[in-house]
Amino acid sequence: MSLLLLAGAGFGFAVGTWQNLCADCPSIARIRTWEPQQTSKVLSRDGQLLGELGIERRTPVSIQTLPVHVAQAFIAIEDRRFYRHRGFDPRGLTRAIAARVVPAAVFRVFLGTSLREGGASTITQQLARNMFDELGFERSFFRKIKEMRVAVQLEQAYSKDQILSAYINQINYGQNWLGIQTAARNYFGKPASELTVPEAALLAAVPKSPSNYTPLRHPEAALERRNLVLRRMRDQGMLP
């Protein structure tokens, strides 16, 4: 009986701590009301974009206006279980931990998959992390737990498409080009709604490390990672 009481008290403490974890977390309402800082756009008389003035070059777009392969590219490389988890993915977390202690060959032989099939953080967690970064929170294990808490709250409040839209509009694609619309125009000279499969794969490849995968500075590394995105899309049944 004492053991049961102790276990119950421990469980209650854990639940209470989880529920009260985010007194200083960013408000998830920012996803709906979020208005990213945009540049002032200079247009010609016929409506052509001549230039942009300001710090953040970003023009948000809705995921519904983009070809389906754009969303698929990001999901394939960043979070293959995006539509099946509720904020964080225990499988991905376990895989990321195993990657540090289990030889890759052993992992593939016994479990039939790779240790590198994505990281520990889901797309929702990455969005939560970006929200913390804007507030200047220090990186720590405790903040990682808070990110998971915010990710769960985001999943409870918003649809998957809303979360994915916020994510692709907020991340850095290199050169301080923020948001997929700005990245598409600068890299390919076209709106994001006209991206081809290889172009979408390249944009999905860059955000993991914008300074290392920007094709303008590291074309070979960018091409290699783009091809990885395409392989993941094929392996997950998104491409023929």
Question: Could you tell me if 190 and 167 are in contact, meaning their C-beta atoms sit under 8 angstroms apart?
Answer: no
- Which pLDDT does position 48 carry in this prediction? 61
- Which pLDDT does position 150 carry in this prediction? 87
Residue 68's pLDDT band, with cuts at 50, 70 and 90, is very high
pTM across the whole model: 0.74
Residue 54's pLDDT band, with cuts at 50, 70 and 90, is very low
pLDDT tens, 91-150? 765 665 555 555 555 545 544 454 445 556 899 999 988 887 765 666 777 778 888 888
Q: Within a 10 A sphere around the Cβ of 235, how many other Cβ atoms? A: 13
- For residue 158, is pLDDT > 80? yes
- For residue 235, is pLDDT > 60? yes
Query: Looking at per-residue confidence, does 239 or 96 come out higher?
Result: 239
Query: Looking at per-residue confidence, does 43 or 30 come out higher?
Result: 30
Q: What is the mean pLDDT of the chain?
A: 78
- Which pLDDT does position 96 carry in this prediction? 53
Query: Looking at per-residue confidence, does 234 or 25 come out higher?
Result: 234
